[in-house]
Amino acid sequence: MRSISILIPAYNEGGGIYEMVSETVRAMDEIAPDYEVIVIDDGSDDDTPASIQLAIRDFPRVASVRLPENTGKGNALRRGFQASCKELVCFLDADLDIHPFQVRNLLDEMGRTGADVVIGSKRHALSKVDYPGIRRFYSTLYYYLILLLFRLPIKDSQTGIKLFRREVLERAFPRVVNMQYVMDLELLLVAHYLGYEIATAPVRISYQREYGRITYGDIRGIIVDTMSLFYRFYLLGYYGSPLKPVVDYEPGISIVIPTRGLDEMTAECLRKCAELNYENFDIKLVPDEPVDVELPGSGSRVISSGKTGPAAKRNMGAADSGADIIAFIDSDAYPDYDWLRNAVPYFEDEKVAAVGGPAVTPMADNKRQQASGAVYSATLVSGSTRYRYRPHAFKKVQDYPTSNLLVRKADFNAVGGFHEEYYPGEDTVLCLKLTHDLGKQILYVPNVLVHHHRRALMLPHLRQVWSYAVHRGFFVKRFPETSRRLQYFIPSIFLLAVLAGLAGSLFNGYVLIGYLCVVGAYLALALVSSVKTLSLTINLLVFPGIVATHLTYGAGFIAGLLSRRMREQ
């Protein structure tokens, strides 16, 4: 009999989680004696943690993973999988709608078919489901949507019991982007894409809650996440990315965080760094003045820099490090749990000098911040560099920002670190030296991910855009290898065309008609591009945000082109 890990994600299940664990232990004692039960508390704020601890006390084969905040079922399962060790892994919902004895059905089906994945299916001919009408309607509607979009050889992706060979999850989880509404579907889609066989097994479901927990917000989230999955699969080719598996060794890493002081976002960044799924790292916090804070890692230090720019702060942090890799992150960002773990394998190749990944807008940001992130991720704004703001396909890049950049220490030293005269823009100069002077590679790896708080629309966002544009315009003259590209000129061309057309319209009616047609077409395109979410408020902010970003960047880029030098920070 094979060994098996049972993963049970739980959020505010205090009233029933003990019974669920008790029933799971009773079932597994009969089905597969070589087992473990891991309960993942996804940031519950009721008595779930206490109930789990009681179960651990009473049942020796039960363990738990405690997440400090609610991040969604998918992330909970990923964390539980990382804590597990058995040959097979079974996902089981915590509400007892599906009794744990049904794990036997999935094991039997895997043994009979040799499949790599077996999922319980409400739509199986032999399933017996006590099913509320509204849930049946939602399920049928979603089944036809998935059939239309993905042609997966399954009829039900959402039933809360699934069995995997360990290898499937080891390869599939690193490619999974969505950890909330459609994680089940994405995981199965990735497994199918990787060539694993998926089979279905009948289930018996007796709903403990009359109408479940599906809300309008859940439905909206499912629709958005499903369409995002379609976009990544068919348009981005994201799932074909040659992502490397996690390696056993952990080279030393120093995380360098430049900051003015210990504000709320810096404290959040430090807290998330302390939770990283990695052991061999330290933190170099570089504020203006000394701060009293406890840092994880034996080599961690607070390095007071005085009032100086971020480039100088990053150089100070790197100089204090004896690590193999320097990981740069902004103080208004925080890392994903597997940030370092996912980046390390690529440094086995000596040709790789640096690894970067997306800096996504946190879900907890307010609507103006969400709108700012949506503006940056819009194709009409960021063009070929939109991968910086949400996961896209793996690629080699020439230029990458230090909000999420890991650099080999030897290569960093070889090019003399950051050019301290520039901010923003010090990252562009560093990347240019790494690729052109050393002939090394910079890789964009989509699961090397951080969460980056945005500056709210409008004025804070536009001030940042102006600063970026001025430096990029200056770099066209100073560093043309990476900055003399058409996409950086387009906003300025657009701005000049708007001004010229406006002036011409004052003197010629035909010019006015043509001008209004062109401007109208542009505004229509901007309006279509602004539909980034199902939130009307955010979309209404994104539309003027796109227009204002184009005009601001265009003016700032011209100002940079006309500048003789950048002022020192």
The structure tokens 């602004």 sit at 530
Q: Is the pLDDT of residue 496 over 80?
A: yes
Residue 110 C-beta-side C-alpha neighbours within 13 Å: 21
Query: Dihedral sign, CA of 547, 548, 550, 555?
Result: positive
Residues spanned by the domain of 413? 253-456
Enumerate residues 6+ apart whose C-beta is below 8 A from 205: 97, 98, 122, 127, 128, 129, 130, 131, 159
Query: Kind and range of the H or E element at 113?
Result: helix 103-113
Same domain for 358 and 275: yes
Span of 133-147, 173-187, 252-266 with lowest mean pLDDT: 133-147
**Do 285 and 421 sit in the same domain of this protein?**
yes
SS (H, E, C) 425-449: CHHHHHHHHHHHHCCCEEEECCCCC
Q: Are residues 226 and 104 in the same domain?
A: yes
Mean pLDDT over 77-98 rounds to 94
- Residue among 159, 171, 174, 243 nearest 204 (CA): 159
Average pLDDT over residues 304-313: 94
Tell me, yes or no, whether 499 lies in a domain. yes
Total domains present in the chain = 3
Question: Which of 261 and 563 is assigned the larger pLDDT?
Answer: 261
Q: Which residues pair with 281 in a beta bridge?
A: 253
> Rounded to an integer, what distance in angstroms lies between the CA atom of residue 441 and that of residue 443?
6
pLDDT of residue 153: 80
Question: Which CATH number fits the domain that encloses residue 357?
Answer: 3.90.550.10
Q: Flag whether 124 is in a domain.
A: yes
Does the residue 113 lie in any domain? Answer: yes
Q: Is residue 461 part of a domain?
A: no
* Sheet (strand 352-356) strand order: 301-302, 281-286, 253-258, 325-329, 404-408, 352-356, 441-444, 395-397
Residue 102 within a domain: yes
Residues 269 and 341 grouped into a single domain: yes
Judged against a pLDDT cut of 90, whether residue 300 lies above it is answered with yes
What confidence score (pLDDT) does residue 221 get? 76
pLDDT of residue 531: 82
Asked if 236 and 268 sit in the same domain, the reply is no
On whether both 169 and 271 belong to a single domain, the answer is: no
201-248 pLDDT, tens digit per residue, is 999 987 765 545 566 667 777 888 888 889 888 888 888 888 888 888
The alpha-helical segments, DSSP class H, found in 446-535 are: 459-478, 480-483, 486-505, 509-529
501-537 pLDDT, tens digit each = 989 988 888 889 998 999 999 999 999 888 877 678 8
**Pairing, β 4-10 against β 198-202:** unpaired
For the cut 90, the answer to whether the pLDDT of residue 28 exceeds it is yes
Residues 6 or more apart in contact with residue 337 via CB below 8 angstroms: 75, 79, 275, 276, 277
Q: Which carries the bigger pLDDT value, residue 158 or residue 161?
A: 161
| 345 and 262 in a common domain | yes
Task: Count the neighbouring beta carbons within 10 Å of the beta carbon of residue 509.
Answer: 8
Do 400 and 305 lie in one domain? The reply is: yes
d(CA 123, CA 140): 9
**Nearest residue to 101 (alpha-carbon basis) of 6, 186, 220, 3:** 6
Label residue 277 exposed, middle or buried (CB < 10 Å: 0-12, 13-18, 19+): middle
Contact 460, 368 (CB under 8 A): no
pLDDT of residue 546: 96
Helix (H) or strand (E) holding 140: helix 133-150
**Shared-domain flag, residues 333 and 414:** yes
Q: Report yes or no on 247 lying in a domain.
A: no
The fraction of the chain above a pLDDT of 70, given in percent, is 96
Least confident of 10-19, 176-185, 333-342, 391-400: 176-185
Whether residues 325 and 231 fall in one domain: no
- pLDDT category, 569, cuts 50, 70, 90? very low
Task: State the average pLDDT over residues 8-20.
Answer: 93
In a domain, residue 462? The reply is: no
Give the C-alpha separation, 247 to 345, whole Å: 6
> What's the DSSP call for residue 309?
-
- Same domain for 158 and 281? no
What's the CA gap between 426 and 424, in Å, rounded? Answer: 6
CA distances to 14, 24, 47, 53, 162 from 50, rounded to whole Å, are: 8, 18, 5, 5, 27
Q: Which of 184, 215, 240 is the last residue of a domain?
A: 240
How far apart (Å, rounded) are the C-alpha atoms in residues 57 and 51?
Answer: 10
Contacts of 177 (CB under 8 A, 6+ apart): 186, 228, 229, 232, 238, 391, 446
Residue 62 is inside which H or E element, if any? Answer: strand 62-67
pLDDT, one tens digit per residue, over 434-483 is: 999 999 999 999 999 999 999 999 999 999 999 999 989 999 988 888 78
Domain boundary among 184, 209, 240: 240
Whether 568 shows a pLDDT value over 50: the answer reads: no
Q: Does the pLDDT value for residue 567 go beyond 60?
A: no
Q: Is residue 424 part of a domain?
A: yes
As a whole number of angstroms, the distance between CA 23 and CA 101 comes to 8
Whether 268 and 298 share a structural domain: yes
User: Which of 240, 271, 304 is the C-terminal boundary of a domain?
Assistant: 240
Please report the DSSP string for 323-354 in residue order.
SSEEEEE-TTEEE-TTHHHHHGGGGGSTTEEE
